[in-house]
């Protein structure tokens, strides 16, 4: 008898994870998909790469003691889009826009020359983006479990115990929106019944294929939901739970407290719950109410941070839960999609600091260690000891602490976070200083990150070129971007950000207290990945980060060039932050570091400074009760970063990927003179919302969807612009794309911006 089998007999606690990163250790999936898109490889070659990546991932999990591997969470683009496909929610226009299923799928994701893509937005409060399914009263669902069955069979044939993962019916409907042809007040929840029919069919198919358990993710249950939604949840779980041909059901939720939804889940006729046990409220709810015989997958390992867990604290929680529930499995709080793969590969990170880090692979070991320790602490002694050492080293380290930073933060006054002149007066002064036309045109900052630019950076990293050569290559790029903008006739120019690998990582690499990773890629959307940097200590700015690039750009033109920075909230939202102090305290440190940069830019002569805060909305706490406190520190830290400037200096900010409706007041509180916002994929409905909110400062609702390779015609841009000018006074309106242009090709950008300027000129003439 093997050791594992003995353990089973003597009460072996299982370990699992709720989901796994898809890109592969070297972003093999990204490369394979982009190569397919470029027509360099075939569908079957892509399929082979994907199959290999799944096999490797499950093997890694299984080799490291994960008893049940998740399947079906792997995706070519996005798991919400996959769910839409699985339930047959494919709008007709996409069916007609491509010849193969795979190309129809990619058309929904990114559009093609025949059709614009689905809208994309943030997955809860993460930096992951999903595609928003479109539903209408005429949507007819149809089960298509082929992909799920294929992945399940692959894992099973490889000898794994597999647990298919599905986005749940409630979450699917709550994340969907009315299709363009649906009545605007159409509520996707009215489709629950037919959707449940399809889920029942899919569960049947998975059961027939041999699945013992299926994981159904219902994270929408951690949002504030009205009683009607909780009733719908109760009903949905009843229907799924009472289906006759089904696997055992594990309902997963994550990211926040379940509150009222807890009882709905605990009372439902399902077999298990995966609950985020990094949220103390959830642990309390389980201990108080129990789970009436259900399995608990206790998500005690945080799936969204990168810190080695405090194993003693986690074990104490597990022991209390173990005493209360019958069947306990140790797990991660959510899918590990949101963390990088392997901290041990980060050999450039100082060894002490590296010992504090746990990425996906290390988290698997933590889950296994805790499960083993729950049965027999001595069997996990070595792993426990090493975790304890890491946690103690981090707590005691002096590297996380900088007295100068602390005293500076302590000395901040309320006046530091406010501009001295009110907006109306600033507007007049800035108008005089800058002399811009009505409907001024600008871009959001980045221009295409061409292969040449990336190659130059890669060559610098590998030591193939020296710093001076790199510097010249970037200057050449800046010079080309300035010429292009002058030629196209834009009013406020940008330098194009060629020197930035990423708008967060670039700054993190230059700030003390931050570390960047070499291989720590995390999927942001589709094939696009980021390497979120890690804040491990007090943050400060040893020297200017952007000034020389701005100076070079401004030296080439008479038109104003925007200084371009990333704001404090976004610097933290797209990083992994320390968990040993309130994030608001860290935000203030970052704000002061940025304030130095703002001052230096202004001293160098910069009169328009943009401080991007695209993450302001997504970081809004999921529960409304926590929002006011967040918005307080978030808006204050933005103002702290930007308020030092003269009233003639124009402060811009930028946001994208979000529903801005519930944060107009906070946007106003930033007190930025101009904001650019994404608006194209939602058809400029933003303009009406802005009008209704009474927002009175400068605003550029985007008129060019930069997430799609499609080039909008001048007429299309003009139509969006007319909507904006119809809703808002013309003197408020700026003309700009939805976001930066770094992911686009130079030829697309040239045509699209030319059309944008044409449209703006025409709109101006007709005012």
Ligand X SMILES: Nc1nc2c(c(=O)[nH]1)N[C@@H](CNc1ccc(C(=O)N[C@@H](CCC(=O)N[C@@H](CCC(=O)N[C@@H](CCC(=O)O)C(=O)O)C(=O)O)C(=O)O)cc1)CN2
Tell me the binding residues. Answer: 27-30, 122, 127, 444-446, 497, 528-529, 574, 612, 618, 654, 656, 669, 678, 739
- State the burial class of residue 675 (Cβ atoms within 10 Å of its Cβ: 0-12, 13-18, 19+): buried
The structure tokens 């930028």 sit at 654
Which of the choices Zn ion, ligand X, ligand MET, none does residue 564 contact, using the CB cut-off of 5 to 8 A by kind? ligand MET
Which residue number, 72 or 448, has a Cβ lying nearer to Zn ion? 448
What gap in Å lies between CA 678 and CA 701, rounded to an integer? 6
Q: Does 445 bind Zn ion (CB under 5 A)?
A: no
Which residue number, 127 or 305, has a Cβ lying nearer to ligand MET? 127
Q: In what side-by-side order are the strands of the sheet with 650-655?
A: 563-566, 608-612, 650-655, 674-677, 698-701
Q: Does 656 bind Zn ion (CB under 5 A)?
A: yes
Are 358 and 308 within 8 A, CB to CB? yes
> Which of the residues 443 through 472 are near ligand X (CB under 6 A)?
449, 451, 454-455, 457-458
Site string for Zn ion, 579-618 (x = CB under 5 A): -----------------------------------x----
Are 195 and 172 within 8 A, CB to CB? yes
What gap in Å lies between CA 358 and CA 662, rounded to an integer? 35
Which of the choices ligand X, ligand MET, Zn ion, none does residue 307 contact, using the CB cut-off of 5 to 8 A by kind? none
Q: Does 163 bind ligand MET (CB under 6 A)?
A: no
| CB neighbours of residue 381 within 10 Å | 13
Which residue number, 446 or 523, has a Cβ lying nearer to ligand MET? 446
> Which of the residues 580 through 639 are near ligand X (CB under 6 A)?
614
Q: Does 739 bind Zn ion (CB under 5 A)?
A: yes
Which residue number, 714 or 739, has a Cβ lying nearer to Zn ion? 739
> Which of the residues 225 through 284 are near Zn ion (CB under 5 A)?
none
| CB neighbours of residue 382 within 10 Å | 10
Stretch touching Zn ion by CB under 5 A, among 175-183, 470-478, 528-536, 739-747: 739-747
Stretch touching ligand MET by CB under 6 A, among 399-407, 438-446, 661-669, 679-687: 438-446
Element (H, E) at 153: helix 146-157
Sign of the dihedral defined by the CA atoms of residues 72, 73, 76, 82, in that order: positive
Tokens of 321: 């839960």
By CB under 6 A, the count of residues binding ligand MET is 12
Sign of the dihedral defined by the CA atoms of residues 414, 415, 417, 421, in that order: positive
Q: Is 385 helix (H, G, I), strand (E, B) or coil?
A: helix
Distance of CA 94 to the CA centre of its chain: 26
The one among 19, 21, 331, 740 contacting ligand MET by CB under 6 A: 740
Q: Does 745 bind ligand X (CB under 6 A)?
A: no
Active-site annotation holds for 707: yes
Q: Does 530 bind ligand X (CB under 6 A)?
A: yes
Q: For 138, left (φ over 0), alpha (ψ -120 to 50), or beta?
A: alpha
What gap in Å lies between CA 186 and CA 62, rounded to an integer? 45
Stretch touching ligand MET by CB under 6 A, among 228-236, 240-248, 406-414, 443-451: 443-451
Are 622 and 255 within 8 A, CB to CB? yes
Which of the choices Zn ion, ligand MET, ligand X, none does residue 594 contact, using the CB cut-off of 5 to 8 A by kind? none
- The one catalytic residue in 160, 338, 519, 707 is 707
What gap in Å lies between CA 290 and CA 273, rounded to an integer? 11
What gap in Å lies between CA 176 and CA 87, rounded to an integer? 13
Site string for ligand MET, 109-138 (x = CB under 6 A): ------------------------------
Q: Does 607 bind ligand MET (CB under 6 A)?
A: no
What gap in Å lies between CA 388 and CA 395, rounded to an integer? 11
Which of the choices Zn ion, ligand MET, ligand X, none does residue 458 contact, using the CB cut-off of 5 to 8 A by kind? ligand X
> Which of the residues 169 through 188 are near ligand MET (CB under 6 A)?
none
Residues that bind ligand X (CB under 6 A): 127, 449, 451, 454-455, 457-458, 501-504, 524-525, 528-531, 574, 614, 657, 742-743
- Residues recognised as catalytic: 707
């Amino acid at each position: 008898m093997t050791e594992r089998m003995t353990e089973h007999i003597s009460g072996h606690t299982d370990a699992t994870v709720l989901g796994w990163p898809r890109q592969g250790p070297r972003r093999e999936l990204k490369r394979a998909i982009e190569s397919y898109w470029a027509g360099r490889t075939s569908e079957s070659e892509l399929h082979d790469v994907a199959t290999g990546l799944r096999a490797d991932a499950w093997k890694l999990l299984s080799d490291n003691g994960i008893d049940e591997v998740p399947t079906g969470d792997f995706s070519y683009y996005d798991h919400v889009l996959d769910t839409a496909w699985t339930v047959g929610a494919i709008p007709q226009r996409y069916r007609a826009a491509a010849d193969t299923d795979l190309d129809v799928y990619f058309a929904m994701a990114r559009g093609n020359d025949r059709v614009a893509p689905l809208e994309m937005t943030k997955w809860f409060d993460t930096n992951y983006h999903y595609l928003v399914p479109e539903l209408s009263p005429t949507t007819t669902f149809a089960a298509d479990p082929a992909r799920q069955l294929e992945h399940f069979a692959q894992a099973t044939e490889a000898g794994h115990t597999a647990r298919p993962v599905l986005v749940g019916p409630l979450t699917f409907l709550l994340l969907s929106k009315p299709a363009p042809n649906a009545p605007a007040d159409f509520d996707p929840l009215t489709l629950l019944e037919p959707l449940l029919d399809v889920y029942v069919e899919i569960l049947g198919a998975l059961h027939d294929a041999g699945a013992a358990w299926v994981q159904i993710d219902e994270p929408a249950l951690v949002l504030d939901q009205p009683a009607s939604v909780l009733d719908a949840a109760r009903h949905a779980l009843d229907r799924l739970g009472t289906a006759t041909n089904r696997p055992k059901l594990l309902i997963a939720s994550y990211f926040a407290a379940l509150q009222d939804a807890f009882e709905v889940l605990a009372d439902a006729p399902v077999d298990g719950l995966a609950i985020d046990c990094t949220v103390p409220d959830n642990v309390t709810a389980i201990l108080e109410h129990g789970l009436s015989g259900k399995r608990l997958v206790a998500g005690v390992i945080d799936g969204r941070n990168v810190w080695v867990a405090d194993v003693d604290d986690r074990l104490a929680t597990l022991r209390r839960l173990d005493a209360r529930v019958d069947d306990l499995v140790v797990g991660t709080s959510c899918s590990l999609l949101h963390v990088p793969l392997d901290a041990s590969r980060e050999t450039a990170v100082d060894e002490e600091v590296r010992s504090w880090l746990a990425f996906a692979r290390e988290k698997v070991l933590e889950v296994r260690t805790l499960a083993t320790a729950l049965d027999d602490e001595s069997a996990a002694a070595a792993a426990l000891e090493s975790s304890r050492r890491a946690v103690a080293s981090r707590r005691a380290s002096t590297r996380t602490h900088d007295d100068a930073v602390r005293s500076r933060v302590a000395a901040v006054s309320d006046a530091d976070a406010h501009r001295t002149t009110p907006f109306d007066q600033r507007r007049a002064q800035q108008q005089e200083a800058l002399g811009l036309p009505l409907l001024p045109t600008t871009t959001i900052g980045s221009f295409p990150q061409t292969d040449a630019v990336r190659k130059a950076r890669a060559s610098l990293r590998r030591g193939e070129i020296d710093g001076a050569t790199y510097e010249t290559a970037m200057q050449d790029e800046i010079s080309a971007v300035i010429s292009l903008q002058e030629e196209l006739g834009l009013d406020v120019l940008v330098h194009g950000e060629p020197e930035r690998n990423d708008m967060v990582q670039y700054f993190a690499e230059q700030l003390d207290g931050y570390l960047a990773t070499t291989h720590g890629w995390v999927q942001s959307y589709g094939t696009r990945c980021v390497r979120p940097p890690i804040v491990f200590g007090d943050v400060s700015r040893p020297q200017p980060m952007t000034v020389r690039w701005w100076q070079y750009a401004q030296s080439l033109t008479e038109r104003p060039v925007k200084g371009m920075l990333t704001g404090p909230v976004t610097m933290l939202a797209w990083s992994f932050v320390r968990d040993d102090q309130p994030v608001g305290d860290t935000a203030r440190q970052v704000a002061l570091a940025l304030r130095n940069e703002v001052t230096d830019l202004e001293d160098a002569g910069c009169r328009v400074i943009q401080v991007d805060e695209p993450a302001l909305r997504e970081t809004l706490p999921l529960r409304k009760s926590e929002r006011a406190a967040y918005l307080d520190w978030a808006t204050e830290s933005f103002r702290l970063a930007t308020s030092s400037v003269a009233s003639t200096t124009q402060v811009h900010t930028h946001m994208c990927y979000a529903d801005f409706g519930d944060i107009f007041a906070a946007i106003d509180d930033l007190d930025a003179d101009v904001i650019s916002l994404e608006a194209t994929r939602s058809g400029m409905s933003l303009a009406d919302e802005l009008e209704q909110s009474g927002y009175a400062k400068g605003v550029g609702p985007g008129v060019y969807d930069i997430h799609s390779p499609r080039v909008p015609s001048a007429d299309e841009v003009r139509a969006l612009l007319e909507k904006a000018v119809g809703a808002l006074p013309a003197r408020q309106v700026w003309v700009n794309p939805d976001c930066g242009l770094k992911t686009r090709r130079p030829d697309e950008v040239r045509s699209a911006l030319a059309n944008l300027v044409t449209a703006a000129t025409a709109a101006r003439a007709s005012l």
